[in-house]
Amino acid sequence: MPTMTSVPYDEFAYFHENLSEWSLDVPIPPVSRFFVSVDGLRQLSGLRWGTGDPELVLLHGGAQNAHTFDTVALALQRPLLALDLPGHGHSDASPMPALAVASHAVDVARALDQLTTGPLPLVGMSLGGLTALMVAHERADLVRKLALIDITPGVSDSKSRHITDFVNGPTSFSDFDELLARTVEHNPTRSESSLRRGILHNAVQRDDGTWVWRHQRTARPRLEASAIGDLWGALAELTMPVTLYRAMGPGSVVDDEDEAEVLRRRPNARIVRVNGSGHSIQGDQPLVLAALLAQWCAS
């Protein structure tokens, strides 16, 4: 029987843990949650960090949410937007499948039309990276430069199997400890405190005491690499600078062939290899990523 013990959650109460875990001595800037309509029926949500006009936009990966970039945002100390993709975090679900990149890109572009006043640097990790690529291709007026975090159009089921095996696990968990145990098992390089914090941001407790991932609250299509169109062709046609941050540790979904194909399609693309990180660079090496993004924004 599931335990009915309630686990309190305040999404803005954990930033001090991020600071402590990474020995960051910086102030916590103002952070607020926003909602914008994308089609008259559904809303896209996200976090606004700092005050003033945002200087960049961050898109998370599949089965994640905007809080995955909390440590990066704290380290950057600049105004930015971190969006929840459709069906993730606090955003409404999309009628399209989980990997409907083109549909997600339309929603993101509609949100950015309302949230920004000119082209901004756009950063996308994994599914968010493919979505960002499509936004840059279809709405170049919104994107000044594009950064892809450990993702290329060369992603496949075989390369991402370790991720989809975790995401496509149980549909619910009897209690928080069961959910935490599975997450720790599949993320052996991460601290338990960071994983606990991540779960609180990425899961919800139902009335019967069981827990479910936020991205599984409604329809639950299996997460598989799917036909996403000619994104290699879209990459070649982009008009703005492109940077790929490639994770070099176990768990990356980018290999040497992908890197070579990026350079074949975009000879002027910049490739930055990040050592000591798996697929989630913002989780494994957030301070390194923050420093790289700060340099990238200023260049």
Per annotation, catalytic residue among 150, 175, 258, 284: 150
- Rounded to whole angstroms, the Cα distance separating 234 from 252 reads 22
Q: How far is residue 95 CA from its own chain's centroid? A: 20
- Rounded to whole angstroms, the Cα distance separating 129 from 9 reads 29
Q: Is 165 one of the annotated active-site residues of the chain? A: no
Residue 235 DSSP SS3: helix
Q: Is 299 one of the annotated active-site residues of the chain? A: no
- Which residue in 94, 131, 106 sits closest to 221, CA to CA? 94
- Rounded to whole angstroms, the Cα distance separating 195 from 187 reads 8
Per annotation, catalytic residue among 91, 94, 126, 252: 126
The neighbour count for residue 48, using CB atoms within 10 Å, is 18
CA distances from 177 to 8, 180, 284 (A): 14, 5, 23
* Owner of token pair 């290899």: 273
Query: Helical H runs in the chain?
Result: 15-21, 70-76, 101-115, 127-138, 161-167, 176-186, 192-202, 231-237, 256-265, 281-284, 286-298
Q: Is 158 one of the annotated active-site residues of the chain? A: no
What phi and psi, each to the nearest 5 degrees, are found at residue 36? -135, 145
Cα–Cα–Cα angle for 116, 117, 119, rounded to 5 degrees: 85
Indicate which residues carry an active-site annotation: 126, 150, 279
